[in-house]
Every structure is written in structure tokens, then in C-alpha cells.
Chains A and B, each alone.
Chain A
Amino acid sequence: MMTSIETIRADFPILQRTVKDHPLAYLDNAASSQKPLAVLQAMDDYYRHTNANVHRGVHTLSEEATRLYEGARGRIGRFINAGSSKEIIFTRNATEAINLVAYSWGLDNLGPGDEVLITEMEHHANIVPWQLVCQRTGATLRYIPIDARGDLRLDLLDELLTERTRLFAFVAMSNVLGTINPTAQLVARAHTVGALALVDGAQSVPHMPVDVQALDCDFLVFSGHKMCGPTGIGVLYGRRDLLEQMPPFMGGGDMIREVHMDGSRWNSLPWKFEAGTPAIAEAIGLGAAVDYLSELGMPWVREQEHALVNYAVEKLSQVEGLRIIGPDGDQRGGVVAFTLDDIHPHDIAAILDSEGIAIRAGHHCAQPIHDHFGIVATARASFYFYNTFEEVDRLVAAMEKVQSVFSF
């Protein structure tokens, strides 16, 4: 479907606001996206008309809430083409989904001599849980390095991905470099050595078509708040046979079938992994978000961002003293991280904020990447389908202002 950007922007109330007397240019979408009216309304409607706990009551509201909650699960499953909604586990965010796999699968299946393979371009969310679980189990954590352009050193894959590797966990798209990794190919390589593959889809699911059956991945994680949905809801997709074998991550209500003083029996999938009252309104909000995205069409979303990022890379490269890290426009998602002269990224972001432009500055929870390039921090502009070429122009023009403030 093709709609004009103006119509789409009108769906997002926050995009009409001003910041420091300028129209807001929101270019921090990799951190969190804005929410369309459809999502706000779905959550508002739920609280106004349906609100009740799920899976428990026999009264009307509880039945309706359960239907909405489980309906959202089904729609989210179809959005990534999962074979069954039993494979969709609701978590708080991508981070919790990775921790679920690390603690449930990892503690049970890893031991001395085993290896977990990740990459140098991971978000801390896909590093620290593995460091913790490897420490506890005696397994070894290995990293695929990145090259000077910001691509994975796939020439080292044979050396690093071996029959000792039990799990290969990697990011589909880097939140700093924008690198889009050859996900299906990497999953297939993991499977040839008998390893499982976990895909960190926090930056891919919001921005491009993702089909878990085509990827053939064992686990995929993502966060609702980066894809037009609310905070507090994320997803673990897991292959059904694996999830069946894994022990619960957290214990409590909802995840059990029977509880006795001497032990308990677990509920079936997906509820085995959803202890306690879940984020019901948030799940419903995420359901509305995937409907919204499906209506736009994910191939269109990707195309739109591709055009924006190509334009941004081209324009920013012309700014003297500006250095972009990461691959060329074509193999890049909608993210541009850069440095400008030796101006600290915090100072860049603060000046941009005074122009109404929101970007992020820092290490973006990916310190190893910054270590690799020998820098402590970068400024990062990241796009979503509702951004415009004019906003890119404003970003580029603001670089001159930054340079004039900090010229010596």
C-alpha cells in the first residue's frame, strides 16, 4: 500500500509537537519508535471497556480480555510467520527474551567444553546474559570480530563455529553500524555444525520483512516499543520442540498446571514461560502495532528507510570532518552513527536538541563496537518510515551549527 508521508505522519500525534520552538525531528528510532493513534486507541479501549485479568475469571470481561490478549499473540505470530502461536512467548522486551533462553536453555544445556558464539557487534543485551551463563556453566564465550567497514569477519566463521558451538546468537541488524547480516545464511551455518541459532531481531523485525520459517532460526527476539508498540512488551519466538523441552524461566501463577506442596506441573506452551499477570494492554497494543505495520507493508517500510538512509549517508559524507562508521548505504539499515571533528557526541546531540532534532549520543549499549573503532562514543541518527528527507536536510544543516559553536 502506498500512502503519502503526510497522511502517515498524521497518524502519530507526537510528530506534531515542537521542541525548543522547532518542529520535532525525531531521529532516535533505534532507541524507541513513536506510536500511532491505532495503538494508543487499542490500549485505551481495552482499559475503558474490557480491563480484567486473563486466563482466570469466568466472567465476561476476563473472557474478552483473554480473547484480545491471545488474539494479539496470534497476529504477532503471523507477522513473523511463526508456525503456531504456541511459539510466541510474551516477555518485557528483547533483553528479557534473551535472558529467558540464556537461563532456561543455557543453564540446562551448557557445560565445560561447550561454546557460545556471538559477535563483536552485539548489543549488550546479547553479550551480558551469555557472559553470566558461561561463567555459571563453565562454557566458553567466543566472538566473531568485525572488519574496518563494520561487517562480520565471515572468513573466520569456519574457525569459530565448530562442533563445540552449542548456540550461535547474533544480531540481524546492528543498532550502531546499521549492518544487515546475512541472517538465513548464518542460521544455516550454525545448523551444519549442530548448533542452535538465536537471532536478535530488535532492529530487524521493526524495519524489514522477517519470516522465521524462511530464516529457519531456533529463536528470534524483539521488543514492541521499537516497532510502534508500547514499552513493557517483547517477544521470544522459539521452535516448539525446543520450548517444550526447556524448563520454566520464572515460577508463579499462570505458568503452572498443578501446584502441590511437594512439587508442581507446568502449564503448556506458551504459558509455561509467562509467570504472573502479563502485560495485557501492552500485548494488545503490540497486536495493533503489527496490524498497522502490515497495512503499510514491511517491504515498503524497508524501501522507505533505505531511501532515507542512502540520502543521509550521501549528504552527511559531504560534511567536512564528519566520519560515518559502518557499511555503505546499500547494506545498511536506517541507522547512521558518526563522529564530527573531535567534538564530543554529547555536545553534538545537545546542539541538535536546541534545533528540535532528537538523536542519540553515547555508546548505544554496544561498547565493543566503539572499542573496535577506538572511539568512546558516537552520535547516531536513526530513521523510521515516518521520517522525511527534509528532516535529513535539517540534520545536515545542524552540523554546520555544531561546527560553528565549537570552532576554535
Chain B
Amino acid sequence: MDQLYREAILDHYRYPRHKGHLDDPDVSYHDHNPFCGDEITLELNIEDGVVVDAAFDGRGCAISQASASMMTEEIIGKPLEELRGWTKDDILELLGIEIGPVRLKCALLPLKALKAGVWGIEDWPHEE
């Protein structure tokens, strides 16, 4: 099977975790990738600097949606302090695959939304 679609990715795509909306989120941020139409809304509840709950909604390719599901699952319980330092490598590690530059944009959309939603960083990731 194609390395890009390992079972864990397909599983998160088919059965996304934490998909939907929080009742009264502290942070809500919508982002999209006009090139391929991937969309994501990320919502967070934060207490004492820690992500206590998170949800996402969206549509798009398997990579972007699996990345959103995996990231949302992973960030719950983590302090913002720690998440602020996350880079593309943290997402690639979650996904467990190597991807080319075009699909990388899909994979990084959820983290991009996190950075913009929590810290107002709008220009991440910088083109390398």
C-alpha cells in the first residue's frame, strides 16, 4: 500500500477524534488552504495555560483531516507553553510519513490554525 496512506492516517480520516464543536470555546479559529480547498475550524478551552478540551471541524483531503484529528487528540492536556514550540516536525512525527511540499501544506493546516488562533501568528510556516 501507498506509504502516504498508512493505516493510522486512514483510521483518523475515517473516524476523526474530537470532530465537532465545543459549547463555549475560549479560542476558535478558522483557516483554509485555497489551493486545494482544505478547511479547518479549531476550538480550544484553556485553563491555567493548559488545553483542557479541543475540537475541530473541517473538510478536505485525508492528510489534512487526519492531521487535524491527530493533533487535536495530542494537544489536550498540554500546556500552551509547550505547544508554542511545536514545529512541522511534531506534526510529521504524529503522521509518521514523509510528504512532498504540496501535501505538506495540507498536513500543516491544523498547526497553522493553532498558532494563529492562540498566539495570533499569521505567517507560519515561513517558506523555507
Residues of A within 8 A of B (CB): 344-347, 350-351, 354, 361-363, 376-377, 405-406, 408
Could you say which of B1, B13, B36, B63 has the most chain A C-beta atoms within 10 Å of its C-beta? B36
In the bound assembly, the distance between CA atoms of A363 and B37 in angstroms comes to 9
Known: A376-B36, A377-B36, A405-B5. A346 touches B14 (CB 8 A): no
Chain A nearest CB: distance from B46 CB in Å?
31
In the complex, B2 has a CB within 8 A of chain A = yes
Closest to B3 in A: A354
Residues of B within 8 A of A377 (CB): 36-37
| Apart from the given pairs A347-B61, A354-B4, 16 other A-B contacts in the complex at a CB distance below 8 Å | A344-B36, A344-B37, A344-B38, A345-B61, A346-B103, A346-B106, A347-B5, A347-B63, A350-B5, A354-B2, A361-B36, A377-B36, A405-B1, A405-B2, A405-B5, A408-B14
Residues of B within 8 A of A361 (CB): 36
Q: Can you list 9 residue pairs at the A/B interface with Cβ under 8 Å?
A: A344-B37, A344-B60, A344-B61, A344-B62, A347-B61, A347-B62, A350-B2, A350-B5, A405-B2
Known: A362-B36, A376-B36. A351 touches B2 (CB 8 A): yes
Residues of B within 8 A of A351 (CB): 2, 5
Chain A nearest CB: distance from B106 CB in Å?
7
* Partner of B63 from A345, A346, A362, A363 at Cβ < 8 Å: A346
* Partner of A346 from B10, B13, B61 at Cβ < 8 Å: B61
In the bound assembly, the distance between CA atoms of A351 and B10 in angstroms comes to 13
In the complex, B35 has a CB within 8 A of chain A = yes
In the bound assembly, the distance between CA atoms of A377 and B36 in angstroms comes to 6
B10 and A405 form a contact (CB under 8 A): yes
- Counting residue pairs across A and B whose Cβ atoms lie within 8 Å, the total is 43
Interface string of B13-47 (1 = CB under 8 A from A): 11000000000000000000001111000000000
Chain B nearest CB: distance from A240 CB in Å?
41
Residues of A within 8 A of B10 (CB): 405-406
Residues of A within 8 A of B38 (CB): 344
Chain B nearest CB: distance from A361 CB in Å?
8
Chain A nearest CB: distance from B79 CB in Å?
33
Closest to A362 in B: B36
Closest to B14 in A: A408
In the bound assembly, the distance between CA atoms of A162 and B2 in angstroms comes to 55
Could you say which of A345, A346, A354 has the most chain B C-beta atoms within 10 Å of its C-beta? A346
B37 and A406 form a contact (CB under 8 A): no
In the bound assembly, the distance between CA atoms of A149 and B103 in angstroms comes to 31
B36 and A350 form a contact (CB under 8 A): no
Residues of A within 8 A of B103 (CB): 346, 350
Residues of B within 8 A of A354 (CB): 2, 4
In the bound assembly, the distance between CA atoms of A84 and B90 in angstroms comes to 61
Chain A nearest CB: distance from B104 CB in Å?
12
In the bound assembly, the distance between CA atoms of A316 and B63 in angstroms comes to 25
| B47-63 with Cβ < 8 A to chain A | 60-63
In the bound assembly, the distance between CA atoms of A300 and B99 in angstroms comes to 41
A376 and B2 form a contact (CB under 8 A): no
Residues of B within 8 A of A362 (CB): 35-36
Chain B nearest CB: distance from A350 CB in Å?
5
Residues of A within 8 A of B106 (CB): 346
Closest 7 CB pairs of A and B: A376-B37, A344-B61, A354-B2, A346-B61, A347-B62, A347-B61, A408-B14
Residues of B within 8 A of A344 (CB): 36-38, 60-62
Chain B nearest CB: distance from A98 CB in Å?
22
Closest to B38 in A: A344
Chain B nearest CB: distance from A134 CB in Å?
22
In the bound assembly, the distance between CA atoms of A267 and B106 in angstroms comes to 50
A350 and B4 form a contact (CB under 8 A): yes
Chain B nearest CB: distance from A166 CB in Å?
31
Residues of A within 8 A of B60 (CB): 344
In the bound assembly, the distance between CA atoms of A344 and B38 in angstroms comes to 9
Chain B nearest CB: distance from A402 CB in Å?
10
Chain A nearest CB: distance from B14 CB in Å?
5
In the bound assembly, the distance between CA atoms of A405 and B102 in angstroms comes to 21
Could you say which of B14, B60, B62, B103 has the most chain A C-beta atoms within 10 Å of its C-beta? B62
In the bound assembly, the distance between CA atoms of A406 and B63 in angstroms comes to 12
Residues of B within 8 A of A345 (CB): 36, 61
Closest to B62 in A: A347
